[in-house]
Chain A
Amino acid sequence: MPTFSTILLPLSIAIPLGIGLFVVFTQKLPNRVARVLTQIAVGLPLLIALSLALNFTPDPETGYAFFSRTNTGLETLGITLALGLNGISLPLFVMAALVGASAGIFAVHRKTERHRLFLGLLLIMHSGLLGLFASVDVFFFYFFHELALIPTFIMIGIWGSSARRLAAMEMTIYLTLGALLSLLGLIALYWQSGAQTFDLIALREHLASQPLRESFQGVIFPLLLFGFGILVSLFPLHSWAPRGYAAAPTATAMLHAGVLKKFGLYGLLQISVPLIPAGAAQWAPTLAVLALCNILIIGFITMAQRDLKQMLGFSSVMHMGYIFLGIVSFNLIGHGGAVILMFAHGLSVALLFLLADCVRERTRTYDMQEMGGLAQHTPILAAFFIAAMFASIGLPGFANFWGEFTIFLGLWEYSPILVALAAIGIIISAIYGLRAVAAIFYGSETDALTKKIKNREEPITDLVPVERIAAGLLFVALLWIGIYPKPISDPANEALMLVAPPKVESIAHIEPLP
Chain B
Amino acid sequence: MNYDFFRTLAESNQWGLIMPEIFIGGLALVVLLADLLLSPSQKRFIPRIAIGGLAFLLFLIALLASQGALRHATGFSGLILQTMEIHWLRAFFILSALIVCHLGSVFLSRRGHLPRGEFYHIVLVVTGALMLLVQSNHFVLLFVALETVTLGFYILVAYSNDRLPSLEAGLKYLILGALSSAILLFGIVLLYGIAGNPLLAGNTADSMNFTALGLFIAENPGHPLVLVGASMVLAGLAFKIGAVPFQIWVPDVYQGAPTPVTAFLTTASKAAGFAVLLILVTGPFRPLAGFLIPALSLIAILTILVGNTAALSQKNVKRMMGLSGVAHAGYLLVGVIAAFTVSWAVYAVLFYLFVYYLASSAAFGVINHLSTDDDSDQTIADYADLARHQPFLSAVLVVSLGSLAGIPPLAGFLAKVFLFVAAFQAGLFLLLAVSVLGVVISIYYYFGWIREAFFVQSRSASVEFVPKAANLPALSWNQKVTLGLLTALTIILGFYVGGIGSLMG
Which residues of A are in contact with B by a Cβ distance under 8 Å? 25, 27, 72-79, 139, 142-143, 146-147, 150, 153-154, 157-158, 164-165, 168-169, 172-173, 176-177, 180-181, 183-184, 187-188, 190-191, 196
Q: Is the CB of A73 within 8 A of B409?
A: no
Q: Is the CB of A153 within 8 A of B447?
A: yes
Q: Is the CB of A184 within 8 A of B455?
A: no
Check: B500 CB closer than 8 A to any chain A CB.
yes
Q: Is the CB of A196 within 8 A of B505?
A: yes
- Chain B residue numbers with a CB within 8 Å of A147 are 408-409
Q: Is the CB of B497 within 8 A of A72?
A: yes
Q: Is the CB of B496 within 8 A of A73?
A: yes
Q: Is the CB of B496 within 8 A of A72?
A: yes
Which residue of B395, B432, B451, B505 is within 8 Å of A77 (Cβ)?
B505
Q: Is the CB of B402 within 8 A of A150?
A: yes
Measured between C-beta atoms, what is the minimum distance from B425 to chain A in Å?
Answer: 6
Q: Is the CB of B498 within 8 A of A187?
A: no
A74-B497, A146-B407 known; A158-B454 Cβ under 8 A:
yes
The 6 closest A-B pairs by CB, nearest first: A146-B408, A73-B501, A74-B501, A77-B505, A73-B497, A73-B498
Which residues of B are in contact with A by a Cβ distance under 8 Å? 391, 395, 402, 407-409, 413, 417, 420-421, 424-425, 432, 436, 439-440, 443-444, 447-448, 451, 454-455, 457, 495-505
- Chain B residue numbers with a CB within 8 Å of A78 are 505
- Chain B residue numbers with a CB within 8 Å of A187 are 417, 420-421, 424
Q: Is the CB of B421 within 8 A of A77?
A: yes
Q: Is the CB of B439 within 8 A of A157?
A: no
Q: Is the CB of B501 within 8 A of A76?
A: yes
Bound Cα distance from A183 to B457, whole angstroms: 35
A146-B407, A146-B409, A146-B413 known; A176-B439 Cβ under 8 A:
yes
Measured between C-beta atoms, what is the minimum distance from A220 to chain B in Å?
Answer: 11
A76-B502, A146-B407, A169-B447 known; A191-B421 Cβ under 8 A:
yes
Bound Cα distance from A191 to B338, whole angstroms: 15
A177-B440, A184-B432 known; A73-B502 Cβ under 8 A:
yes
Q: Is the CB of A176 within 8 A of B495?
A: no
Which residue of B391, B402, B420 is within 8 Å of A27 (Cβ)?
B391
Which residue of A76, A139, A183 is within 8 Å of B504 (Cβ)?
A76
Number of residue pairs A-B, CB distance < 8 angstroms: 88
Chain B, residue nearest A146 (CB): B408
Q: Is the CB of B402 within 8 A of A180?
A: no
Bound Cα distance from A147 to B455, whole angstroms: 20
Interface pairs (12), CB distance under 8 Å: A74-B497, A143-B408, A146-B407, A154-B454, A158-B455, A165-B455, A168-B451, A169-B448, A177-B440, A184-B420, A187-B421, A190-B421
Which residue of B413, B451, B496 is within 8 Å of A157 (Cβ)?
B451
Bound Cα distance from A169 to B440, whole angstroms: 12
A150-B402, A181-B436 known; A157-B499 Cβ under 8 A:
no
Measured between C-beta atoms, what is the minimum distance from B461 to chain A in Å?
Answer: 11
- Chain B residue numbers with a CB within 8 Å of A139 are 417
Q: Is the CB of B421 within 8 A of A75?
A: no
Q: Is the CB of A184 within 8 A of B408?
A: no
- Chain A residue numbers with a CB within 8 Å of B420 are 183-184, 187
Bound Cα distance from A139 to B497, whole angstroms: 14
Chain B, residue nearest A191 (CB): B424
Q: Is the CB of B447 within 8 A of A172?
A: yes
Bound Cα distance from A78 to B505, whole angstroms: 9
A72-B496, A176-B443 known; A150-B407 Cβ under 8 A:
yes
Measured between C-beta atoms, what is the minimum distance from B460 to chain A in Å?
Answer: 13
Which residue of A74, A143, A180, A188 is within 8 Å of B436 (Cβ)?
A180
Bound Cα distance from A143 to B432, whole angstroms: 20
Measured between C-beta atoms, what is the minimum distance from A352 to chain B in Å?
Answer: 27
Which residue of A75, A180, A181 is within 8 Å of B502 (Cβ)?
A75
A73-B499, A176-B439, A183-B417 known; A142-B424 Cβ under 8 A:
no
- Chain B residue numbers with a CB within 8 Å of A74 are 497, 501, 504
Q: Which of B407, B448, B498, B503 has the most CB of A within 10 A?
A: B407
Measured between C-beta atoms, what is the minimum distance from B305 to chain A in Å?
Answer: 16
Measured between C-beta atoms, what is the minimum distance from A176 to chain B in Å?
Answer: 5
Q: Is the CB of A180 within 8 A of B439?
A: yes
- Chain A residue numbers with a CB within 8 Å of B409 are 143, 146-147
Measured between C-beta atoms, what is the minimum distance from A25 to chain B in Å?
Answer: 8
